[in-house]
Amino acid sequence: MNILLTGYAGFIGFHLASKLIKDNLIKNIYGIDNLDSYYDVNLKKSRIKILQKLDTNNKLKKFTFDLKNSKKLNETFKKIKIDVVINLAAQAGVRYSFSNPKSYINSNIIGFFNILELVKSKKISKLIFASTSSSYGSQSITPYKENLMNNTPLQLYAATKISNEVMAHSYSHLYGFISIGLRFFTVYGPYGRPDMAIYKFTDSIYKNKKIDLFDSGKMLRDCTYVDDIVEGIMRTLNVKHDPLKKLKHNIYNIGFGKPVTVKAILKQIELNTGKKALVKMLPKHTSEMNKTYCSTLKFNNDFNFKPKVKINDGLKNFNDWYKSYHLK
């Protein structure tokens, strides 16, 4: 099987690429990443070095360009056979969209459109793409089930990911390829994104910096360890039966299914680090969801998988990695 993996040097992309390299069913992995400076590019370079060490059979072919460059995308893969596209490339983050909205349109709308056009023109059989729990926006009905209306996003990031789901549906319907959108819930783990709360809290505690804690930490988050996210993606890639026979396009949640308060997360990080956090209390921002809470039923029914890593175990793993990477 030949896989096109976008965002291969990103957080989830790196962990997925590591898994794909070890999979005997995978012949070639064509990885694209623009290595942008949204966060420290040295972290991405560290991930790439690890992939290079793992890749003893030279499965991973690396390309550095932006998906908004449709000419480069089409020229690069004109004569390369691709069986499945896994699109993890995106401009992530919520607050960054307040000051840099255009980057979300370029990456998440134009870039995704170019991927859809590639799948269409090359008659690729399956597209798997990342969506987000943020798509549920102001919904108050929990746990979030995939059939809930999601037309009330609270930020531009969520709006672009909802757009991806709708765009993929139309292309799948018109051109007959299988399209699977995966709504990830608060992903964390080693080599994570420094802009995410768990990474920021840990980093700030070790550096004796103040932590901005919104709404007294009362917001609930359904935190999902990266290994479980990767296993979920692999299930959609390798599934033997086809739950999508009747419907070419489908959306699934992947989340642990047990939300915890941000305050409880911070307390556990304090225990792991052995240090007390310096906290600055701030009011809840209008872009923030009160709660994310994943229904795991649909994904478990179709792919026989539920995330397994408990939050305290995952936080310990992250702390161990942080110390080995930053404090060595």
Catalytic residue list: 157
Q: What are phi and psi of 304, to 5 degrees?
A: 55, 50
Q: What count of other Cβ atoms lies within 10 Å of the Cβ of residue 218?
A: 13
Interatomic CA distance for residues 296 and 305, integer angstroms: 9
β partners of residue 278: 210
Interatomic CA distance for residues 319 and 189, integer angstroms: 9
Residue 129: strand, helix, or coil: strand
Interatomic CA distance for residues 200 and 294, integer angstroms: 23
Q: Which residue has the tokens 């809290």?
A: 201
164 CB contacts (<8 Å, ≥6 apart)?
A: 108, 109, 112, 129, 131, 181
Q: What count of other Cβ atoms lies within 10 Å of the Cβ of residue 228?
A: 21
* 59 close to 21: Cβ distance less than 8 angstroms: yes
Residue 73: strand, helix, or coil: helix
Interatomic CA distance for residues 193 and 19, integer angstroms: 19
* 190 close to 179: Cβ distance less than 8 angstroms: no
Nearest Cα to 87, choosing from 121, 115, 55? Answer: 115
Interatomic CA distance for residues 100 and 194, integer angstroms: 18
